[in-house]
Structure formats: C-alpha cells, structure tokens
Amino acid sequence: MKIAAMLLTLALLVGVSPAQESVRVPCAPWRAFDAAQEPTTLLGEAQRRQLIDDVLEWVERLHVDPAFDGVDLDELRQAYASRIASARYDHEVVSLLEEMLAWVDAYYWTPEELRQELARASFTGVGIFISILADGHVLGINHVYPGSPAEAAGLARGDRILGVDERSTCPHPNDIRGPTGTDVTLTVTAPGRPARRVTITRAPIEPIAPPRAVRLDEPGIGYLWPGNLAAPGQSDLIRAALDDMGAFSSSDPLDGLILDLRGVIGQNEQALRALESLGGPFADGTALYVVERSARVPVVIAPQPERLEGVALVILVDVATDGFQGMFAAALQARKRAQIVGQPVHSTWRLYAPELLPDGSRVDVPYAELALVDGTRLRQSGLIPDSVMTVDWRDDSEDEDPYVAEAIRLIRMGGIGAD
C-alpha cells in the first residue's frame, strides 16, 4: 500500500502482455531500510502506543467518510495494538501500522522515508518518468527527459525495465535513483526487440516534459500528449502547441483530436488547470466537485476564448489515468463531449491530507473525494472507456499503437463533438 502514496508521480499502471502473465508471486513492497543492515529496536512500548493513538486520531478527525469505510476504529485499534506491541523490530512495527491504516485507505511515512523524499526533490538520476507494472515485476518508461543520460543511452517511451543492476526480478524506482556520478545497469526491452543491458551514469535532471502536438498522417486528425501537467505554465505551452499544429485553423480545420493521457506526469489540480486549454462545454464553468465530509467545493475550469467546438475529441487512458486528469476525462465523457479509449480506471479518486506527527513521521488521510457534477463518485463505478482495450499500449511500437488506431476509427465514424 505504501507505493501508491510514496510515489505519487509514478502511479501504478497496466499489467504486462498475456504472454508475460505467468503465475508468479507479487513483489513485496519496497522498504526504506536496507534489509542487509542490522534491524533496529528503538521504538519502546509507550512510543508504539502513541503512534497508534496519533495516526488514528487524525483518521477520526479528517477522514472523508464519517463511517471510515465501514471500519470501527476501536475494533481496528484492538486488532493491532497487541501485534504492534509484541513486534520484535521497528520495521515490523512500521509494516503493521501500514497494514492497519490500509483498512481506512490511509498511509504512513517514517521520518527516514520523508528525508529520502526530500532528497529526491533534487532530481538526480537517469532521467526517466516510470510506472510500476505487473505486480512490480516490470517498470514501464512513460517519458524520457530531454538531454538526460537515459536519452543518451537510447531509452525511449514505451520501453520496459526488467531488472536493475544484479536484481533480475521486482525492480523498483528507488533502485534506479542514486548520487550524481554513480552508475546503474538496467535490463531493458522494447516492442520487437530482445532484452539488453544498459549502464547509465546518474546526473542532475531537469524535469522537462513539454507537450507534443502533431497532425497525423490521417487527414484532419491531430494528436496531443500534454506532457508534465504539474509544471507551471503548462497550460500556455499546450495552447501554443495546439496553435502550432493549426488546431484552431479556419482554412484547414481539424475533424478530430486525440488527447493522450497515458503516462502523463501530474495528477493534482494543477493537471486540470493545464488542460483548460482544451475548454469544454461546461455551462457554468464547473467541471468537478471536491466532496469533503461536510462540504462540496466546485472545481471551475476557466473559459477559453477559443475552444475546439465542432472537433471530435477522443481521450486515451490507461489504468493510471486517475486523479484530476482522469476526472477531466470522465467529466467530458459524462457531458457527451468526448469518447474514451483505453483500459478501465479503478482508483480511490481521493485527495489526501498530510499530517506530521510529534516523532517526525507522517500520516496521509483521505479528506475528500472527487465527484462529477451530477454527484457520481467514480470510487464506486470507476472510469469505463467507451472502447475498452485489453492490451498494454507498450506491446506495440508508437507507429502501430492500437489505441490511436481505435481513436481514429471512432473519429471517422463521426465521434462525439463533431459537427
């Protein structure tokens, strides 16, 4: 459960192709401590009781569901108190706290994990944005940062990482990170190519992911990958990319636009702001609601002077297209403004409040859920595409992308939004 909160920008993605889906044991969660080191026993009985009290107090205060997802907090405390008290080592205490909080969809960070996250803000590594696939047995590359060591080594979007250094199974993003000047060896495969080993020297990374907008060989159809939706000013860059593509041209108008939200960086409200360039038929400007325990807050998309009215819009998604970008897709689908192609998206669709505890650790508690304007909460139903794909988009080369081919087919059939 730690992976989802600890690596928010990585997002759990799709499984591997059927040929690779042999029966196997899921990978164990990555731990912040080194298993080769001597385990510690620094947490005394009183500290352990205090940790239980602290995390459950914040759950009781903040949880979006007053029924705590159907869990009785007193019973939860009783079920774990003796196990946590009798745990032999500190890392066992942490694992039990995480297991306990998973029942109420909350997450726990140790002080060491928080320090590591702060250190990772310096963006030192090989220069890839990745996702965890197939129960952790594979890492998928969603983006290679321009000018990075990974780009120089020939890595590309859609590649899969099968191993890191001598670890041939269960590679983890934290195994790839490391100090500037150190080497890491990746076992990488791409569609139609055998696995290869690539040694890359880590370096400071400039996390640049500009949008990419092009006209496809199919006449009248454009394609947009919006890039890093969490970056300041990305909305302006998206609009400029659409202008350069001629999306708003009166002499050579688009029949349809394919918006690719697979492997897109950024899942918070900034992502929604970056997508404002596309506009949408929101009569009152309200796209979504943030539903808290006792309030419902509208999320408003600012009106745009030029919208893609009359252009058929198809949105590509995979199982990690959640957060605000997923809700943007769901909102357009609900308003009959876009069709969706991809894999069903099942997520908590929740927002989390980070609360620091006296010992320097942290608990993240779900304080709100995202909902459509009609009140639908996708936490129950999920985001179901109009055209469901059963294959991973990484199974084929970019030129043979079956998701894009299906989007083109829908547009040619007179997709939603077309005049």
**Model-level pTM greater than 0.95?**
no
Q: What pLDDT score does 280 carry?
A: 57
pLDDT band at 121 (very low <50, low <70, confident <90, very high): low
Q: What pLDDT score does 83 carry?
A: 94
pLDDT band at 21 (very low <50, low <70, confident <90, very high): very low
Residue recorded with tokens 């640049």 = 208
Between 26-30, 61-65, 136-140, the lowest mean confidence (pLDDT) is in 26-30
Give 375-387 pLDDT, tens digit per residue: 888 888 889 999 9
pLDDT band at 348 (very low <50, low <70, confident <90, very high): confident
Statement: residue 305 has pLDDT above 90: no
pLDDT band at 132 (very low <50, low <70, confident <90, very high): confident
Statement: residue 159 has pLDDT above 60: yes
Domain 212-347+382-412: CATH architecture, name and number where available: Alpha-Beta Complex (3.90)
Considering only residues 44 and 8, tell me which one the structure prediction assigns the higher pLDDT: 44
Beta carbons within 10 angstroms of residue 40's beta carbon: 10
Statement: residue 389 has pLDDT above 90: yes
Q: What pLDDT score does 39 carry?
A: 61
Give 70-87 pLDDT, tens digit per residue: 999 999 999 999 999 999
Q: What pLDDT score does 215 carry?
A: 95
Question: In angstroms, what CA-CA distances link 39 with 27, 50, 85, 174, 380?
Answer: 21, 21, 16, 20, 41
pLDDT band at 2 (very low <50, low <70, confident <90, very high): very low
Residue recorded with tokens 């092009």 = 214
Q: What pLDDT score does 19 carry?
A: 29
Domain residue ranges of the chain, discontinuous segments joined by +: 212-347+382-412
The pLDDT of 350-356, averaged and rounded, is 94
Give 249-288 pLDDT, tens digit per residue: 888 889 999 999 998 877 667 777 777 767 555 556 788 8
Tallying the residues shown for the chain, one arrives at 419
Mean pLDDT, the chain, as a whole number? 82
**Nearest Cα residue to 58 out of 357, 328, 305:** 357
Percent of the chain that is helix, strand, coil (3-state, to 5):
30, 25, 45
Considering only residues 277 and 63, tell me which one the structure prediction assigns the higher pLDDT: 63
Give 169-187 pLDDT, tens digit per residue: 778 777 888 888 999 999 9
Q: What pLDDT score does 23 carry?
A: 40
Give 223-247 pLDDT, tens digit per residue: 999 988 888 888 888 889 988 998 8
8 Å CB contact between 179 and 124 = yes
Q: What pLDDT score does 296 carry?
A: 92
Q: What pLDDT score does 29 carry?
A: 55
Q: What pLDDT score does 114 carry?
A: 85
Query: Cα separation of 59 and 105, whole Å?
Result: 10
Q: What pLDDT score does 26 carry?
A: 56
The pLDDT of 153-172, averaged and rounded, is 86
Query: Cα separation of 354 and 364, whole Å?
Result: 4
90-102 and 45-62 helices, crossing angle to 10°: 20
Statement: residue 8 has pLDDT above 70: no
**Nearest Cα residue to 331 out of 292, 366, 301, 294:** 301
Supply φ then ψ for residue 388, to 5 degrees: -85, 130
